[in-house]
Amino acid sequence: MNKYVLFFLSMWTCASSFAQNKEAAFPVKQEPTSEYEMMIKNLQFDQTLEKIKKDMVQAKKKKKDTAELENLQERCNRGIQMLRGTDHVVIIDSVVVDKKNFLDAYNYSEELGLITPSKDGKTTTFETQRGNRIYKPELAGSSLQLTSYYLESGKPTNKKNITGLEVDGDLNYPFLMTDGTTFYFAARSAEGLGNYDLYVTRYDYDEDKFYKAENLGFPYNSYANDYLMVIDEENKIGWFASDRYQPDNKVCIYTFIPNSSRHPYDYENDEQDVIIAAASLHSFKSTWDPSNEQARIEAKQRLSLMNNSINGWAPYDFTLVINDNFTYHYYKEFRSAEAKNQCREWMQKVNNLNKANYDLELLRNQYATANAAKKKSMRQQMLKLETQVEKLTRKAHEAEKKTRNLEIKSK
């Protein structure tokens, strides 16, 4: 898509959202106004239910209306169900930024699509990676609802309201994964935890419809605003925004390792304090344990490489994640001479791997236009190169791991 089309789309998106948006759509937190709500916000569901039970008895004795207490009781029960399903996700980093510029912290590749904020920053529009469709929130009555448009020569056409989600309230912050099926959005719904919650649904191409959306629960959601889930499936990196524990003008962007499927804590056997800490994300390190250390290191390595690629420059000698606190980019950073020499061996293996990958890609391109006689011999060459790439990948990974372990021993 050329720059003129992008400029036209951006201006249309901003003008449309700005003209029709209401203050209700902006993610401003509704803070707790009672002791009950404060306890619920802190995920103290069992204690809250005990207090409600006692107060309910007193209210009935005095013949007072118990509707508010019953509503709080329902919220607690819903919270407990969500706590039971707390996803065992690993948060690898977080950064606090100005809310109006929160998209700056999403260092994603445009291969995932294009996210455009409205002029006032209260909504976002998502354009698919193919540049043929957009998803955006628009006012329908008194609430924001999601719509889709096809793009023809950069101009939006064929408006369609997204139905089937079965979520009420304001719907905002859409994102469609590159699989063309998995669709994330945020909604401020009476059935959610409060403020904006993150939801996921699936799009059925054959039926041309979306299925009922599912609340992502803890720890992605909280009693604050949680919105704009973006997932890079190829690099296994995800981001979402949350203003939990933040002042009104700030928001925290969490970077995490997406699970291929939901992996809940064992509510009956795991320590409750551990589950609540992970669900609330007071500290993202509460999601860490020895079993996911290697996954964290590899994710940070991928993230660093992604950032270098997206920013268009790579001034470093290499990128080596030592642990959660240290990442090396230069040989002079090593304390261990043995680790430094091992790093040079690692880099040589990486260079060999890159050359083999280049030769394989070149051969594949030639194969596409070769005649039948040449293709037979080229297939054999490709099989040999594929085997070579597999071996070199394994050797490079082993050399990287050895480099890291040697440096860790020296600390």
Report yes or no on 348 lying in a domain. yes
In a domain, 291, yes or no: yes
- Count of domains observed in the chain: 3
The candidate with the shortest Cα–Cα distance to 72, out of 47, 34, 36, is 36
* 68 and 15 within one domain: no
Q: What is the mean pLDDT of residues 274-287?
A: 92
Using 50, 70 and 90 to split pLDDT, how confident is the model at 11?
Answer: very low
Task: Render pLDDT for 129-166 as a digit per residue (tens, 0 to 9).
Answer: 888 999 999 999 889 999 999 998 878 999 999 999 99
pLDDT-derived band at 21, boundaries 50, 70, 90: very low
Whether residue 307 lies inside any domain: the answer is no
Shared domain check, 271 and 380: no
Within a domain: 128: yes
Are residues 257 and 330 located together in one domain of the fold? no
Do the domain assignments include residue 29? no
pLDDT at 17 over 50: no
User: For 174-204, what is each residue's pLDDT tens digit?
Assistant: 999 999 999 999 999 988 887 999 999 999 9
> 377 in a domain, yes or no?
yes
Radius of gyration from C-alpha coordinates of the chain:
25
One domain, residues 233 and 336: no
Q: Report the interhelical angle of 272-280 vs 67-84 (nearest 10°).
A: 100
Residues 230 and 367 in one domain: no
Q: Are 164 and 248 found together in one domain? A: yes
The residue whose two tokens read 């890159």 is 354
Domain membership flag for residue 313: no
332 with 226, same domain: the answer is no
pLDDT reported for residue 314: 56
314 domain residue, yes or no = no
Dist. CA 97–CA 215, nearest whole Å: 25
Parallel, antiparallel or unpaired: strands 197-204 and 214-215: antiparallel
- With CA atoms as reference, report the closest residue to 213 among 225, 224, 229: 229
Same domain assignment for residues 180 and 242: yes
DSSP β-bridge partners for residue 215: 199
What does the pLDDT read at residue 311? 65
190 and 143 within one domain: yes
Q: Residues 315-352: pLDDT tens digits?
A: 678 889 998 888 998 899 999 999 999 999 999 998 89
Name the β-bridge partners of 214. 200
Residues 256 and 387 grouped into a single domain: no
The residues with which 143 forms a beta bridge, in sequence order, are 140
Residues 14 and 101 in one domain: yes
Q: Residue 125: which domain range?
A: 3-22+87-295
Q: Are residues 137 and 180 in the same domain?
A: yes
**What's the confidence (pLDDT) of residue 136?**
96
Task: Give the span between the Cα atoms of 46 and 35, in whole angstroms.
Answer: 14
